Structure 1
Amino acid sequence: MIVAWVVLLAAAVGSMTAFAKPLDAHITVKGLQSITTLDEVQKTFGGDDHGSGRVVFAAPKGEKLTDADAAAVATLTSKLAEVHGVASATDPFADKTAGGLSPAGRVGYISVTLDAGSPSSSTESGIRSLVSHANTAQLQVAATSGLVGQTGATSSQLPGIILALIVLLVTFGTILAAGMPLLSALIGLGTGVTAIYAATSFVSLTSVAPTLALLLGLAVGIDYSLFIVSRHRRQLLEGMDPKESLPLAVGTAGTAVFFAAMTVVIALAGLAVENLGFLTQMGLAAAFAVFVAMLVSLTLTPAFLSLAGSRILTARARRRLAAGEMKGPGRLSAGWVRVVQRRPVLFLVASLVVVGVLAAPIAGLRLGLGNDGTQPGSTTERQASDLLADGFGAGINGPLEILATYPSAATQAEAAALADKVGHTTGVAETQLAGLTGDRVLLAVVPKSGPSDEATVTLVHSLREASIARSLPGSPKLDVTGDTAVDIDISNRLADALPLYLGLIAAFAFLLMVAVFRSLLVPLKAAVTFLLSLGASLGVTVAVFQWGWLGGLFGVDPPAPLLAFLPTIVIGVLFGLSMDYEMFLVTGMREHFVHHETARGAVSTGFQQGAKVVAAAALIMIGVFGNGVVEGDSTIRPIAFALAVGIVIDAFVVRMTLVPAVLTLFGRAAWWLPAWLDRIVPNVDVEGASLHRPLRRG
């Protein structure tokens, strides 16, 4: 089995090396009117595939641009035009009609057109070098992302992996036991992700497609293997022979792993129902990575354990077993569950209050796709955005376009009436006639607000109101487009998709867990408590990254709407980990209840056996995602933060406090299933009752 996985990994890596093609950096969403309109504008008014951007320059605050600055700009413009990949560069001092100088005379910009749609690495490097050398104390110079791309710090996973190894060492006490979950997870992640990249040889994948697979593949890979290793070690510490323990561990913990993985796979594949191409790719890629992680944990991990034998235990533990001493449950977990069960209503209410307070900011959630103004202040694109806003108004960074289609040929008078009407709309700073041909008029609109401001979203919705078109001569059909409008529409589409996605996740989780736990209340509780964890995670993230609370502590620069993909990614990853922790804890409780322990006693015993592994798994993931908060860029940091917060809440507040309190209150009713449903639901025997039959007969 080990050789087979090594061969599979080598084949996947070889296929990726030989056949992988570059990922598509452009994210498109079919069915959005703003995108269709943008294509029509480019076809009708001579749009092309050339990229463009601005090199912005400014005098020190309180001063104006001088003749010396004009000479420096002229030199910079000529050098920019010579960069490989640049088609043209326009000096605003030489061409006054270009409109590249601010009314106050402090800020200006050079308009740069590229040969291609986006800059190549050599073009970007050349522009960055020129901008850096031109930037002086007397003339600040910066470039927009259209010329240099949006950049940020890269995040290394090494600190997170080292922390995971430390936690596993503390948990298991031996490097052999600690290394197994990590090694299994890395082999599974390597096989799954390289296979995804190899698939680009026959299908085009967007750049965001592997994102969820990377995060979730590592997370569940460690957790699934950890669950089986922990169960096997516990049975060995109870005196079971390794040859008897391993099949039982795979039959019980492995069955729980299988159903936990299937729950996550189905939920991720459910992203396809939204019919958003890049979201479907993201979900299917992540589902494949989880499936591979599950296969590795059920095959490769047992192979490692088989080779290790009793050496999976510490030398001290082996000596105790040889002397006939059995290890009892942990005192900390036993004490905690005893306290919770003594006052279950108190801990239930306290948990709900904590989660409710943390989730409250989610009511103010706003989503966006990011722009130059949401980048860190140290980047050239953010500096360019700020300078443009200072000199020309915030709206210059997020212009809109209105395409008016008339029933017959449009006239200059109708175009002027359109410009006047739109110009008097609340939130519009400037309008300009950009084109008139046949029955179509193109109007360029500069908002008063920036592309990330809520006022811009309101303006786009206002311009789309039917009342504006009805009040115009000819009653044209108005369509609002432009990059800012497209970003707003994609964000709205993603936000609208979340309720259905959450509903699918909750439904599939409920159905599968009915089969696993043979209960109605336990699956219902699992689905509801996941929503609580999700709400708290997103609520805290909104408060920190959107509102800026404690922003300095977490490197928030600037506070801005959350990335539109963030809730989807957080739902996928947090759901997988949440269901893992649910399985780790509650399957043990179910097992002891089936083996004739009282409902209250089963909750206590199952908790004591599973709490340590849940705490270890949670601490590992908190470390992995916490590292992303410290080292990640402006895109990764809020995602990693949301996941780290979500795991803290889900593992320690929900699973290890609220769940035992709720199940204690439920009593035997927690495991009740109607007789007619009991006959229909297949018996998956996750508690291993059939495997214990010889012991029970004795």
Structure 2
Amino acid sequence: MAKWMYRVGAFSARRRWWVIAAWIVLLVVAIASMVAFSKPLDGSITVKGLQSITTLDSVQKTFGGGNAEGRVVFAAPKGSTLTAADARSVAALSSKLAEVHGVSRAIDPFSQPKAGGLAPDRRIGYITVQLDSATLSGTTARGILSAVVDARSPQLEVEAGSDAVGQAASSSNQLPGIVLALIVLLITFGATVAAGMPLLSALVGLGTSITAIYAATSFVSLTSVAPTLALLLGLAVGIDYSLFIVSRHRRQLLDGMSPEESLPLAVGTAGTAVFFAAATVIIALAGLAVENLGFLTQMGLAAAFAVFVAMLVSLTLTPALLALAGSRVITRRARRRLALGEVKRSRRIAAGWIAAVQRRPVVFFLASIVVVAVLAAPVMGMRFGLGNDGTQPSTTTQRKAYDLLAEGFGAGSNGPLEVLATYRQAPTQAEAGVLAQRIGNTKGVSESRLAGLKGDQLLVAVIPKSGPSDAGTVTLVHSLREASLARSLPGSPRLEVTGQTAVDIDISARLAGALPLYLGLIALFAFLLMVAVFRSLLVPLKAAVSFLLSLGASLGVTVAVFQWGWLGGLFGVDPPAPLLAFLPTIVIGVLFGLSMDYEMFLVTGMREHFVHHEGAREAISTGFQQGAKVVVAAALIMIGVFGNGVVEGDSTIRPIAFALAVGIVVDAFVVRMTLVPAVMTLFGKAAWWLPRWLDRIVPNVDVEGSSLGRPVEAPHPVDAMVQ
């Protein structure tokens, strides 16, 4: 592998202008394809094979209602009720809504009181907006929102839910993350040219991958969440992978090697590590398809594609740009020192830290475990759900409409359920009455009524007492599905619970059920990959277990902030809610890849020096000092990019970005910088033990590039910078 990567680096440096031109052409083609062929993203999240979805389709086919409808909510000021003047304003608004393209009917609750659109206190009401089709188009949503805005006045508050105006607009501004990355790179390298290389490479790769993803909508329907993770991850790993190669190249130049000699070797060594690091992320993300959920598979494959492009850019465009820069990737002061034959190394902080860890490895080991355990403790109370208008920021019209409906009609009005009862023969009026009564008496039901009767099927509309994100609603859905309820009814009908809230609950349960399998596959893959990379059993076992520790801390802190609301105001949590059902799966895939990146770039240095006949303790110290600074820089860049996602992201991406940022903090600084060297010190020589029979069958991937004939004293691919 190292020899092949060496040839890639040599070609990219020799044919630099061809490589640069090729990437420019790819970027232009991707942008042009996006402009010419891209189609709108699908905002819905659906899962095939769920009974509640099958039942919902059956209800719509049998009882009608297949077309979508939304609600426009209006309210008088607090402490007052709706007046005759308000009724006239609502009538005018209803007429205007009915004229919007794509709207078939707008039901005014004042003119049609049987529609039930007025709250008992007559302060809050809603207009039911029926649409021509089953999906809400952008043109229709904009027309409804315009009518809503025009109808607002000091005497009448008017808001609309996402079923009428679509989801709240989200931001995707990555500029703050890019600026922070540039600052970290400038501090790390001390040279503007060297700092700009990873950024430029990452932006080219990100632009190519994201525009290609949008262009792909011409052939496949993509959900709106598919590109979000690709945007964050493509930028982060794009910078990091180029950073490792630039770092190695600079280190070799400072050791007196010419640029022509250094570039192929930098790609052959650091590039090999980048290849395997990217492979871990790509496989983990592509592995999201294991859960067989369409939107999650799309998100994973889109992000995997962005990482793949970032890897290609770092292995080809980065060395081409470095070839153009020549010796300018190191500072003028360093070039003057080289001319005088001076070499100055500065690793005082890393040397002091590893010395402290190795003096008291048990203390640092136990301290790391305690910190991680405390952070991970809240994970025991983790609950799952899918986002709704109640989890949108309080400043959005969707959230305001949600809160008004809950205030006027009860929390359950935002998450109605439907119960479909199928009898052996057409039910009688008495059986229908008993069905509605028994369902209405079920614990957690606020209201129930017969909504339809056709043939041997009865449809009952149910309003829960609790909101769609509350645990009480989950309990109610399970209660309505209990076989004992059906057996207690005359005729013993088959009961099926559906409605969007029930569908969301089932999707969350499906995701939670598939999580152990995915986590097990990831942990197993981590172990097998590390056996090949490190030719050891204890080191891979430690890598897999330490990843689980980082994951637990990441999810635990996210539960405390986003589900419990601790310090939620600092991170835009408004309001606290169950975690997104697909958040743990995504965090597992991404954090696994990044965790193994840091493990590889740090511990391969330790192994290299041990193989080169240093003692186990000395090899740990040397390898740590060489890799620590660049790994810290890479982690800070990741934290900055994901932290920007917390600030700039929407209600979907914010908790994901937060969990990843916390995971990187814990993994890089608590696990890799503290726990790993402590455990390696305790292991001693046993860390590198591999049975002879296993050594014969495990492939030698040569991450260290020993096949390139490097001197024994040659630095590790991710050596700390020479100042």
TM-score by length of 2: 0.93
Deviations 1:14-38 (CA, angstroms, capped at 9, x unpaired) = 3333333333333221110000000
Match of 1:306 in 2: 323
Match of 2:720 in 1: none
Q: Write the mapping of 1:287-436 to structure 2, written as runs, cut at 5 A.
A: 287-436=304-453
Q: Identity, % of aligned pairs?
A: 79
Give distance in 2, aligned partners of 1:203 and 1:65: 48
Deviations 1:380-425 (CA, angstroms, capped at 9, x unpaired) = 1111111111111111110000111111222222211111111111
Matched AA of 1:6: I
- In the TM superposition, what is the alpha-carbon distance from 1:481 to its structure 2 partner? 0.2
Match of 2:150 in 1: 133
**Secondary structure of 2:421's aligned partner:** strand
Give distance in 2, aligned partners of 1:203 and 1:137: 46
2:623 pairs with 1:606: yes
Matched AA of 2:564: W
Deviations 1:310-356 (CA, angstroms, capped at 9, x unpaired) = 22110101111111111224111111111111111111111111111
Deviations 1:512-564 (CA, angstroms, capped at 9, x unpaired) = 11111111111111111111111111111111111111111222111111222
Give distance in 2, aligned partners of 1:511 and 1:329: 36
Contact 1:595 1:689 in 2 (8 A): no
Q: Which moved more, 1:194-203 or 1:456-465?
A: 194-203
Match of 1:235 in 2: 252
Give distance in 1, aligned partners of 2:76 and 2:140: 26
Give distance in 2, aligned partners of 1:101 and 1:135: 18
Give distance in 1, aligned partners of 2:62 and 2:326: 73
Matched AA of 2:418: E
**Secondary structure of 2:148's aligned partner:** helix
Contact 1:81 1:88 in 2 (8 A): yes
2:684 pairs with 1:667: yes
Match of 2:637 in 1: 620
Matched AA of 1:334: A
- In the TM superposition, what is the alpha-carbon distance from 1:97 to its structure 2 partner? 0.8
Match of 2:60 in 1: 42
**Secondary structure of 2:707's aligned partner:** coil
**Secondary structure of 2:262's aligned partner:** helix
Match of 1:446 in 2: 463
Contact 2:281 2:594 in 1 (8 A): no
Deviations 1:134-185 (CA, angstroms, capped at 9, x unpaired) = 3233222211111111214413101110111111011101111111111111
* Shift in CA distance, 696/311, structure 1 to aligned 2, threshold 3 Å: closer
Contact 1:223 1:580 in 2 (8 A): no
Contact 2:285 2:590 in 1 (8 A): no
Contact 2:284 2:593 in 1 (8 A): no
Match of 2:13 in 1: none
Match of 2:46 in 1: 28
The correspondence for 2:192, drawn from 171, 175, 188, is 175
Q: Write the mapping of 1:177-216 to structure 2, written as runs, cut at 5 A.
A: 177-216=194-233
Q: Write the mapping of 1:48-127 to structure 2, written as runs, cut at 5 A.
A: 48=66, 50-127=67-144
- In the TM superposition, what is the alpha-carbon distance from 1:569 to its structure 2 partner? 2.3
Q: Write the mapping of 1:414-563 to structure 2, written as runs, cut at 5 A.
A: 414-563=431-580
Q: Which moved more, 1:408-417 or 1:533-542?
A: 408-417
Contact 1:35 1:486 in 2 (8 A): yes
Match of 2:717 in 1: none
Deviations 1:188-238 (CA, angstroms, capped at 9, x unpaired) = 222222222333333332222223222222221111111111122122223
Give distance in 2, aligned partners of 1:240 and 1:595: 21
**Secondary structure of 1:18's aligned partner:** helix
Contact 2:232 2:641 in 1 (8 A): no
- In the TM superposition, what is the alpha-carbon distance from 1:696 to its structure 2 partner? 8.3
Q: Which moved more, 1:575-584 or 1:12-21?
A: 12-21
Deviations 1:422-478 (CA, angstroms, capped at 9, x unpaired) = 111100011110111111111100001111111001100111111111111111111
Give distance in 2, aligned partners of 1:559 and 1:248: 51
The correspondence for 1:7, drawn from 12, 15, 25, is 25
Matched AA of 1:10: V
2:49 pairs with 1:17: no
Deviations 1:367-387 (CA, angstroms, capped at 9, x unpaired) = 211111111111111111111
Matched AA of 2:148: V
Q: Which moved more, 1:77-86 or 1:237-246?
A: 237-246
Unmatched runs of 5 consecutive residues or more in structure 2: 1-18, 715-723
- In the TM superposition, what is the alpha-carbon distance from 1:126 to its structure 2 partner? 2.8
Give distance in 2, aligned partners of 1:71 and 1:191: 54
Contact 2:288 2:585 in 1 (8 A): no
Matched AA of 2:546: T
* Shift in CA distance, 630/23, structure 1 to aligned 2, threshold 3 Å: closer
Matched AA of 1:617: A
TM-score by length of 1: 0.97
Matched AA of 2:64: G
Q: Write the mapping of 1:267-282 to structure 2, written as runs, cut at 5 A.
A: 267-282=284-299
Match of 1:591 in 2: 608
* Shift in CA distance, 643/454, structure 1 to aligned 2, threshold 3 Å: same
Deviations 1:640-673 (CA, angstroms, capped at 9, x unpaired) = 2112111111111111111111111111111111
Give distance in 1, aligned partners of 2:44 and 2:289: 19
Q: Which moved more, 1:306-315 or 1:448-457?
A: 306-315
Matched AA of 1:299: T
Over the aligned positions, Cα root-mean-square deviation in angstroms equals 1.7
* Shift in CA distance, 421/687, structure 1 to aligned 2, threshold 3 Å: same
Contact 1:581 1:651 in 2 (8 A): yes
Match of 1:569 in 2: 586
Matched AA of 1:641: F
Matched AA of 2:402: S
Contact 1:622 1:648 in 2 (8 A): yes
Give distance in 1, aligned partners of 2:713 and 2:589: 40
The structure whose RCO (Cα within 8 Å, separation 6+) is larger is: 2
**Secondary structure of 1:402's aligned partner:** strand
Deviations 1:594-652 (CA, angstroms, capped at 9, x unpaired) = 11111111111111111111111111111112222223222222222112111111111
Contact 1:92 1:101 in 2 (8 A): yes
Contact 1:239 1:326 in 2 (8 A): no
Q: Write the mapping of 1:156-171 to structure 2, written as runs, cut at 5 A.
A: 156-171=173-188
**Secondary structure of 1:690's aligned partner:** helix
* Shift in CA distance, 68/93, structure 1 to aligned 2, threshold 3 Å: same
Deviating beyond 4 angstroms after TM superposition, the runs of 4 or more aligned structure 1 residues are: 693-697
Give distance in 2, aligned partners of 1:677 and 1:345: 30
- In the TM superposition, what is the alpha-carbon distance from 1:575 to its structure 2 partner? 2.0
Matched AA of 2:545: V
The correspondence for 2:699, drawn from 682, 693, 696, is 682
Unmatched runs of 5 consecutive residues or more in structure 1: none
Give distance in 2, aligned partners of 1:273 and 1:637: 24
Give distance in 2, aligned partners of 1:589 and 1:71: 78
The correspondence for 2:302, drawn from 285, 293, 306, is 285
